[in-house]
Structures are given as C-alpha cells and as structure tokens.
Amino acid sequence: MLEHERVVIHTGRRSRLPVIVAVHSTALGPAAGGLRLWHYPDWRDGLTDALRLSAAMTAKFAVAGLPSGGGKAVVALPERGELDDARRRDALRDAADAIALLDGVYATGPDVGTSSEDMALIGETTPHVFCRPTALGGSGDSSPHTAQGALAALRAVSRRLYGTACLDGRRLAVVGLGRVGARLARLLAAEGAALTVTDVDPDKRRIGDELGAVWRSPDETLTADVDIVVPAALGSVLTRRTAADLRCRAVVGPANNQLATPDVADLLHQRGILWVPDYVASAGGVVNAVSTELHRASADEARARVRAIEETVGEVLDTARRHGRTPAQAASELARRRLHAAPDPAAPPTASPGVGTR
Ligand code: PPY
C-alpha cells in the first residue's frame, strides 16, 4: 500500500535527470525535508530512498512536536561520474521547478549532496525553501544544529546508562566525518570524550588527527569496544550482521535511515544495546530551521528547542522502559499519537461555540 500522500517524478527539463519529490504526510502541516543530490545504481533506488526518508521526516516532526509534515526530494544521479557545475545547477533548477509546482505542499532544505548555497539557487524559483544563507534571510547551514541535537541525544543516553549527562572520558566511535559528523566529533572532543573516528574518505583522517582521535576502518569503528557508537554517515549501517558484531552499549547519532530493516531495532534491544531512533536524534537541523524560519523563533529560542532533544530522548527511553518496549516502539507510538491527534484536514470545519447561535 502506498502510504504517501503524493509522489512526483519528473525528468528534469534541463538536466534530463530523474527528480523525485515524496510528500509522505501533511497531517501536522505542510511537508518539509531536504533535497538529496546523490548517486544511485538505478533511479528507482532514489525513489525508494525518497519514500523512506520522507516517512522518517513525518516521524521526526511529530516527535519533535513541530506542526510540519514529512517530505523529501531526490535528484537521482547515475552511479558513476560527477556533474560539472553547469549541469549541477540545471539539476537544482529542475528540482526547484518540481517543488514550485507543489505550491507550498512541500518545502525543501539541504541534505546529502546539497548546501545552503544550493538553497539560494532554489530560492530564485520558489519561496518554499529553508536554510538559504543568512545573508539572504535564511537560517543558513543546518549542520551545526543537527550536531548540537545529536549531542543532546547523546547526553540523554549517557544519563540513562551512566547516571550523568557528562561525556568527559566516555569512549565514543563516530562513523562518518561529513559536515555533521565532523562538527559533532569536534563538540565531543571539546567535552573530553575519547574518540575513535572513521570515514570512507581517507583524507578525513586529518580531522581525526587534529582531534587526537584514533582512526580505524569503517567496519572496525562500528564494532569498536566503546561505550557509544555514533552513526553520522549515509544510512543502513545497522544490519542483522553488524547488530550481532557491535560491542558498544548504545547506538545514537545524526545519520538518517540507520536501520537496514526495522527488525534490527529488536535485535539490538535483545542484545541489551540501546538504540535511539535516528529520526529523534537527527532532528536538530530541522528544529532550528523550522523554528526560526516558520515560527519566527529567536536564535536563543531555537537553540533551546534543539537542546530539548535531550528531554525528548529521555522521555522516549523512560516510556520504553516503563512499558517494556524498545525505544523504537516508544518513539513510533509517540509519533502515531501526535499524528492521530491532528485534525483531519478533509473533515468539514466544526462550528465554534457561540458562532451563529444568536
Ligand atoms: C533532515 O533533517 O533530514 C532534513 O531533511 C534536513 C532539513 C533541514 C531543514 C529543513 C528541511 C530539511
């Protein structure tokens, strides 16, 4: 069954690349979610990615308590070859056209392969775009806020496991040193954590060296003997196989789509490994963007809302423990409750008391 409200697939007029926009749900409000410009073996894999990621955005907003819906856009690049600048701009303009046609049902933002500057380009076509550079009136790069949100989630996990939110001396393994992963690793190093780090790009070793971190291969980092593993790279690192090999007490990080299949959450639970759902731990970026750009929150208010991810994770973990559930079940039940509590936009408006009764 298609769970999504609307899925648009275009062949880009300029780039001839497949442009996919998936609107999973607008039950809580207009949909938002990033634009991914990424390589796929087949464009249908890009479609699958957009479907999964947009559903995760619905849950992300619901659990974060924000009145937005879930969406995601993907421009599916071929497996091999890089776009030159002109073709890349064409691809972004093609994505902007598809977003503009949705007329506010969906607003985009940065994601894997796109930046705040790219949002400026999209903003030339449609106003339905978050995270344009601050000089243009947007909220800018979302990655520092995503990193702060993941740090908040890590504190909640540390409090649960060790009775303190302090990460000083804690052994953490960060898998992926991209925009968010590198920021988060810096924050963790500043907190005094003992870091093991990795990236598929060997040049990132420099960042590890700078932070005094131990560098290992991606596989070794994921299965390192540490307190907490922090997924901060592309999705699906948690498979049945890797779940069996993990040696940490918890997995929590800012990567989207960490589970290869949903049952891996149960396997982790059976092994006594605490897994915080990715859509809870990765919400810092959208929380900041949506709070400041849609709800006119000040920078301080937005920061406080990102920090509140610590309480949200704490509540999810408490509820899970109280009801004998996994954190994945507790978070998805919370999301479902919030979605069901939303008024049905298709229902006729109910007369407010006192109106028309005189
Ligand atoms: C995500 O959190 O996964 C995103 O899609 C990033 C994002 C950031 C800001 C606005 C919309 C989406």
What CATH number did the domain enclosing 48 receive?
3.40.50.10860
- Pocket flag, ligand 1, residue 196 (CB < 6 Å): no
| Amino acid letter, 209 | D
Q: Do 319 and 178 have their domain in common? A: yes
Q: Do 266 and 191 have their domain in common? A: yes
Q: Do 180 and 129 have their domain in common? A: no
Q: Do 149 and 279 have their domain in common? A: yes
Q: How far apart, in whole angstroms, are the C-alpha atoms of residue 332 and residue 336? A: 6
Kind of pairing between the strands at 69-78 and 194-198:
unpaired
**Which of the listed residues 136, 159, 182 is the one where a domain comes to its end?**
136
Q: Tokens 């006594």 sit at which residue?
A: 272
Kind of pairing between the strands at 106-107 and 31-32:
parallel
Residue 296 lies in a domain: no
What tens-digit pLDDT sequence spans the chain (358 residues)? 889 999 999 999 999 999 999 999 999 999 999 999 999 999 999 999 999 999 999 999 999 999 999 999 999 999 998 999 999 999 999 999 999 999 999 999 999 999 999 999 999 999 999 999 999 999 999 999 999 999 999 999 999 999 999 999 999 999 999 999 999 999 999 999 999 999 999 999 999 999 999 999 999 999 999 999 999 998 789 999 999 999 999 999 999 999 999 999 999 999 999 999 999 999 999 999 999 999 999 999 999 999 999 999 999 999 999 999 999 999 999 999 999 998 766 555 554 443 333 3
**Which of the listed residues 113, 136, 159 is the one where a domain comes to its end?**
136
Q: Do 32 and 128 have their domain in common? A: yes
Q: Do 102 and 185 have their domain in common? A: no
Q: Do 215 and 318 have their domain in common? A: yes
C-alpha pair distances (Å), 317 with each of 58, 69, 156, 295 = 20, 24, 9, 28
Q: Do 34 and 51 have their domain in common? A: yes
Q: How far is the CA of 80 from the centre of ligand 1 (A)?
A: 26
Q: How far apart, in whole angstroms, are the C-alpha atoms of residue 109 and residue 98? A: 14
- Pocket flag, ligand 1, residue 142 (CB < 6 Å): yes
Q: Do 272 and 216 have their domain in common? A: yes
Residue located nearest, by CA, to atom 10 of ligand 1: 109
DSSP for 19-79, please give it: EEEEEEE-SSSSEE--EEEEEESSHHHHHHHHHHHHHHHHHHHHHHT-S-EEEEEEEEEES
Nearest to 37 by CA among 105, 117, 149: 117
Which amino acids are annotated catalytic? 72
* Residue 16, domain extent: 6-57+69-136
Q: Do 326 and 177 have their domain in common? A: yes
Burial 341-352 (b: 16+ CB within 10 A, else e): eeeeeeeeeeee
- Pocket flag, ligand 1, residue 109 (CB < 6 Å): yes
